Amino acid sequence: MKTNRLRIRPPESVLVPAGNLLCLTLIAMAAMAGVLCAQRPEGAIEGRVMDSSESVIPGAAVQVKGPSGFARTVTTDATGKFAVNGLASGSYSIQVDWPGFAPFRSEPLDVSGGRPRIFNVKLKLSDIRQQVTVEADGFQPVSVSAESNASAIIVTGRDLESMADDPDELLAELQALAGPAVTPNGGQTFIDGFSGGRLPSKESIREIRINQNPFAAEYDLPGFGRIEVFTKPGTNKFHGLALLKFRDAALDSRNPFSATKPPYRSRDFEGNVEGPLWSRASFFANVERRRIDQSAIVDAVGLDDSLSVIRLNQAIPNPQWHTTISPRVDYQFNDANTLTVRYAWMDMRQQNAGTGGFSLFSRRHSTAESDHTIQLTENAVLNKSVINETRFQYIRRDLRLNGDNTLPAVTVLGSFLGGGAQVGLSKDVRDHYEFQNYTSMIRGNHSIRFGGRLRVLSLADSSTQNFGGTFTFGGEMAPLLDLNQQPIPDSGGQPLLGYISSLERYQRTLLFQREGLNPAQIRALGGGASQFSIVGGDPLAKVLQADTGIFAQDDWRARPNLSLSFGL
């Protein structure tokens, strides 16, 4: 029998290089760290946002802040819940802001892995506080200066922009602000220190002063109702402005005295430009053109061809045109002397003037007026405390009226005005000259001003007003007539008298004229005019008028809270 033997050899050793062994060791450690990290649980914060009554608040922003600058913002759902997952272990805080509630800031929350940290937020209503600061509009500290009287009004900037654009309406608003004047002729209006001028367009005005220093000696009348307008100078940069204003009757209501709404349209174009001429000169120029297509409403009582009483209601077109051109140049000769030159040309025309109300279409006439104004102002700084002003103004105003005075005018009191216009060919030409020189100086607590003014007015007026005559009919006692237009006798056989209106008197006059009665017979039956007036002679009249005045005034600041003004 053969026996097999099993021989076991010992295992052979495997030699691994040292560098490869180090790499295998690092790979194994990294794999173990990854396994450990993957197995570490993450933390979370969950909760609900509610108000103090435990009503949920959806859509609230919840911000969670943690270590290493961690920050995340989530929004609550429709049930007010929020959840922030994937948080590393550490300390976190929660912030919630919602309109109407006080901001919420939580204390630090410890978050660890395993299960989420539950935290509910209750918001409290915030205290509503409102701070109102009341300031006086345009409040100025109390001043004892003569120019700072409490009744003075300064209009500039936005206050000026809010006023009427039409110069006539603007003047009416300024006169209302100025209040009643001390004379029956109304207040005084000064344009750049000159009297007698017309109000420029609003875009040319820099500032308006009303009732300032009313008792200043340099003015010939107390300043109640006084309006001082100062125009804009040029600037050192070019500026321009163009405006187009349009108004139509579509949105206007009907005039209650008119049976129909007459057409109306207003178109106003205005533009200005300003800037430097050269290093020491600047200019400002303004142009305005207005056309107003309007109507005059006649609402009167008259007679038709059969002498029956009818109501006369008519809309008579009387369009107007206004054109204004006004340039101004300021030139500085040197550091002590400046010159301002301003020119203004204004042209106004109107057709069918003199109609409306009781005045019928036959009384219409046309008007044309043009104004030329030249103003020169030189300011000289004599020294650091003395200033001299020299001013000169020339105005030429030409007004012409053209109407039909070949027919006599007929005035039936309380009913209508008919017949010819009676203005005929009338002309009024005025030349106005004005020269002023004022000196202002400061002497310690004294502000001294003195000077003089010379004004000359030359007037040439040619008027043919009422050269055609005017018949006036008024109501009075007259014989009462029967249906046959014969006097009704009383018990004694005398005509029975009664009061007849002015229109009935005019009606009897026309009726008996048609029947061929003479003036005496017409008057015996209660007809005929109550009055007839007529003007004749040389229509031209010339007047030359001059006035001059000097003044001196001293505003003395006796104490910081006391000022005394003296003037003559």
Secondary structure letter of residue 138 according to DSSP: T
Residue 142: pLDDT band (50, 70, 90) is: low
SS3 90: strand
Secondary structure letter of residue 55 according to DSSP: -
Ranking 76-80, 267-271, 553-557 by mean pLDDT, the lowest is 76-80
Which class is 232-469+541-567 in CATH? mainly beta
Secondary structure letter of residue 169 according to DSSP: H
Residue 151 neighbours by CB under 8 Å, 6+ apart: 211, 214
Sign of torsion, CA 215 218 222 226? negative
Beta-strand relationship, 531-533 and 446-462: unpaired
SS3 556: strand
- Examine the pLDDT at 9 and tell me if it is beyond 70: no
What is residue 563's predicted lDDT score, i.e. its pLDDT?
A: 86
Beta-strand relationship, 425-443 and 446-462: antiparallel
The pLDDT tens digits of the residues spanning 488-530 come to 998 888 889 999 999 999 999 999 999 999 999 999 999 999 9
Residue 135: pLDDT band (50, 70, 90) is: low
The pLDDT tens digits of the residues spanning 29-70 come to 444 444 433 444 577 888 889 888 788 888 888 988 888 788
The residues pairing with 312 across neighbouring beta strands, listed in sequence order, are 300
Please, what is the average pLDDT of the chain? 84
Residue 235: pLDDT band (50, 70, 90) is: confident
Ranking 6-20, 289-303, 445-459 by mean pLDDT, the lowest is 6-20
The residues pairing with 376 across neighbouring beta strands, listed in sequence order, are 341, 392
Residue 240: pLDDT band (50, 70, 90) is: very high
Q: What is the mean pLDDT of residues 556-566?
A: 87
The pLDDT tens digits of the residues spanning 285-297 come to 999 999 999 999 9
Q: Indicate the domain borders of the chain.
A: 44-123, 232-469+541-567, 475-529
> How many other CB atoms are found less than 10 A from the CB of residue 81?
16
Strand order across the beta sheet in which 227-231 lies: 153-155, 205-210, 227-231, 189-191, 194-195
Most confident of 174-178, 209-213, 355-359: 355-359
> How many other CB atoms are found less than 10 A from the CB of residue 132?
4
Q: What is the mean pLDDT of residues 470-475?
A: 95
Region class of 321: left (phi > 0), else alpha (psi between -120 and 50), else beta = beta
* DSSP per residue, 473-523: E--EEEE-B-TTS-BPB-TTSSBPEEEE-HHHHHHHHHHHHHTT--HHHHH
Q: CA end-to-end span of the chain, whole Å?
A: 170
Q: CATH: 1.10.1060.10, 1.10.10.10, 1.10.1660.10, 2.60.40.1120. Which one for 44-123?
A: 2.60.40.1120
What is residue 21's predicted lDDT score, i.e. its pLDDT?
A: 39
The pLDDT tens digits of the residues spanning 302-332 come to 999 999 999 999 899 999 999 999 999 999 9
Alpha helix stretches (DSSP H) within 194-351 = none
Separation of alpha carbons 382 and 378, rounded Å: 12
- Examine the pLDDT at 417 and tell me if it is beyond 90: yes
Q: Are 471 and 516 in contact (CB under 8 A)?
A: no
Separation of alpha carbons 527 and 521, rounded Å: 9
Residue 18: pLDDT band (50, 70, 90) is: very low
The encoded tokens of residue 65 equal 């802040």
Counting residues of the chain whose pLDDT is more than 70, the rounded percentage is: 89
Q: Are 88 and 67 in contact (CB under 8 A)?
A: yes
What is residue 41's predicted lDDT score, i.e. its pLDDT?
A: 53
CA dihedral 356, 357, 361, 366 (to 10 degrees): -30
What is residue 134's predicted lDDT score, i.e. its pLDDT?
A: 53
SS3 22: helix
What is residue 519's predicted lDDT score, i.e. its pLDDT?
A: 92
Nearest to 390 by CA among 564, 545, 534, 193: 193
Write down the pTM of the prediction.
0.66
Nearest to 322 by CA among 364, 373, 287: 287
SS3 68: helix
- Examine the pLDDT at 352 and tell me if it is beyond 60: yes
| Between 390 and 405, the higher pLDDT residue | 390
Residue 455 neighbours by CB under 8 Å, 6+ apart: 195, 196, 432, 433, 434, 435, 546, 547, 548
Secondary structure letter of residue 15 according to DSSP: -
Counting residues of the chain whose pLDDT is more than 90, the rounded percentage is: 42
| Between 447 and 32, the higher pLDDT residue | 447
The residues pairing with 16 across neighbouring beta strands, listed in sequence order, are none
What is residue 132's predicted lDDT score, i.e. its pLDDT?
A: 54
Alpha helix stretches (DSSP H) within 1-54 = 18-39
| Between 19 and 423, the higher pLDDT residue | 423
The residues pairing with 398 across neighbouring beta strands, listed in sequence order, are 370, 429
Ranking 196-210, 506-520, 537-551 by mean pLDDT, the lowest is 196-210
Secondary structure letter of residue 40 according to DSSP: S
- Examine the pLDDT at 19 and tell me if it is beyond 50: no
Residue 233 neighbours by CB under 8 Å, 6+ apart: 206, 282, 284, 328, 330, 340
The residues pairing with 155 across neighbouring beta strands, listed in sequence order, are 208
Largest CA distance in the chain: 202
Separation of alpha carbons 344 and 373, rounded Å: 5
